[in-house]
Amino acid sequence: MPIGAMEAVAKVVASVLAPDGVVTDAGSVKGSVVDTLEPIFGSRFVGSHPMAGSERSGLTAARADLFQGATAVVTPTAKSDPQALAAVESMWRDVGCRIVSMTPAEHDEAVARISHLPHAAAAALVNAINRRLPEAQKIAGGGYRDTTRIAAGPPAMWSEILLENKAALLAGLEDFTHTLEELKALLHSHNAAALEAYLSRAKEVRDNLP
């Protein structure tokens, strides 16, 4: 469900939850979610975020293997019950995930760059291309489709996510802007060797993805 709907739903769930019930979530932002839900559920709530999915949404996008080999980030706090944490981690392992544990703040800093920044960049790229080439799809090949795929995600959902993690995303956008300026400078200087080194660094990092 959208992050903004979690508090109201959580209060309903809490009213009927068994005393030993365990609750987690799958939101893309953890700081505000944990701050909102932990007071409602107490120590039996442990935040989590499975790093899986695509630009598609709804039941028609469901896949039986969605979580196979994916990373599930769990974000326990000092208030988290150890048994609740173990149950949440066990659930994600049972559906095929590997577990990474972070604080909510660490999660939001990291995800701002590996998830939220790529989405913002893909949307900006589509809009930049569309300014001068509104019919790009007529000649677009794999490069355009690969680099802009995630821009097709639900705008309302992504708008909420980006605003919820605004501070960390803005820091990521500053870094991204710096690297774009570096690329522009290399092109202006016609420095082929430096440009190749710039592209090689990116290729090396990308090639090392598991």
Strands of 98-101's sheet in order across: 47-51, 71-75, 98-101
Structure tokens at 183: 């690329």
CATH topology of domain 107-207: 6-phosphogluconate dehydrogenase C-terminal fold (1.10.3660)
pLDDT of residue 161: 94
Burial class (CB in 10 A: 0-12, 13-18, 19+), 53: middle
- DSSP letters along 62-75, please? --TTTTTT-EEEEE
pLDDT of residue 53 exceeding 80: no
Domain ranges, ordered by start, for the chain: 3-102, 107-207
Please give the structure tokens belonging to residue 94.
Answer: 């049972």
Enumerate residues 6+ apart whose C-beta is below 8 A from 47: 24, 25, 27, 30, 33, 34, 37, 74, 75, 76, 104
Q: What percent of the chain has pLDDT over 70?
A: 100
pLDDT-derived band of residue 202, with 50, 70 and 90 as boundaries? very high
- Quote the CATH superfamily of domain 3-102: NAD(P)-binding Rossmann-like Domain (3.40.50.720)
Output the six-digit token pair for 97: 């995930």
Residue 76, phi then psi, degrees to nearest 5: -70, 160
For residue 209, what pLDDT band results from cuts at 50, 70 and 90? confident
Q: What is the mean pLDDT of residues 19-28?
A: 95
pLDDT, greater one: 61 or 40: 40
**Residue 155, helix vs strand vs coil:** helix
Confidence band for 102, pLDDT divided at 50, 70 and 90 = very high
What integer pLDDT is reported at residue 147 of this predicted model? 95
Q: What is the pLDDT of residues 182-197, one digit of tens each?
A: 999 999 999 999 999 9
CA distances from 158 to 81, 143, 149, 194 (A): 31, 23, 14, 36
